[in-house]
Chains A and B, each alone.
Chain A
Amino acid sequence: GAVVSQHPSRVICKSGTSVKIECRSLDFQATTMFWYRQFPKQSLMLMATSNEGSKATYEQGVEKDKFLINHASLTLSTLTVTSAHPEDSSFYICSARSSPGQEINEQFFGPGTRLTVL
């Protein structure tokens, strides 16, 4: 199946700093990517939908000025956690959707990024 990568896989930062997480679709073009957050022993929570060439759509309760999303190309979306705080520590996962019209429509998930804010 298609491959989605994330970088970095793990990051530790100080409170108040900003952290950028990259999500890449390696062998297909993704006009739409999704960002999720997962706290320990909980399910994935959709944060935002990233659309290539346009503004991201954020879920209710997610601060768009804190979680900056940029989808500048068909293979790259970035999530920047600005002024990070310890409560932002979580597992961040991106996914990319296969092209419309495919027989099987699935989301391909990245391996996740573990963010720890000290």
Chain B
Amino acid sequence: LAKTTQPISMDSYEGQEVNITCSHNNIATNDYITWYQQFPSQGPRFIIQGYKTKVTNEVASLFIPADRKSSTLSLPRVSLSDTAVYYCLVGDIPGGYQKVTFGTGTKLQVIP
């Protein structure tokens, strides 16, 4: 399982765009990159998933360079409610079961 490295914490003001980068140097060919959000005392919530290049949905964008050794989660115009821990995971999908290992995550604090 590819190990991931993220900044432990980040601060941002409301309304700004936040970019959280994750390193996964040992990512395998079959691995996808998935980001989750977790609020205190809640289960993680899926944000976005991608394999290469750029993926965008209604809440975030995910940028993955050609070598796939890193990825960047981009949150546009954050609000106070985006204060949470963000986890980057890599795992082999589809087929079989996806056993994933959570890294330390990035604690994002949005400041008024």
Contacts and interface: CB of A to CB of B under 8 A. Distances in A.
B49 A104 contact: yes
B97 A49 contact: yes
Which 7 A-B pairs rank lowest in CB-CB distance, beginning with the nearest?
A109-B43, A105-B93, A32-B97, A44-B102, A106-B46, A43-B102, A109-B44
Interface stretch (A13-21, A66-74, A75-83, A95-103): A95-103
B: interface residue count bin: 20 to 34
B42 A111 contact: yes
B32 A105 contact: yes
Interface in B2-16: none
Given A43-B102, A106-B49, A100 B95 contact: yes
Interface of A: 1, 4, 6, 31-32, 34, 36, 43-46, 49, 51, 91, 93, 95, 97, 100-102, 104-112, 114
A1 B99 CA distance: 20
Contacts of A44: 44, 87, 102
Contact of B98 (A6, A107, A112, A114): A107
Contacts, number: 60
A77 to B, nearest CB: 13
Interface of B: 32, 34, 36, 41-46, 49, 87, 93-105
B100 A112 contact: no
A32 B100 CA distance: 13
Nearest to B105: A43
A100 to B, nearest CB: 5
Contacts of A51: 97
B46 A112 contact: no
Contacts of B104: 43
Nearest to B50: A104
A106 B100 contact: no
Contacts of B44: 44, 93, 95, 109
Contacts of B49: 104-106
Contact of A100 (B32, B42, B96, B100): B96
Contact of B45 (A97, A100, A109): A109
A102 B94 contact: yes
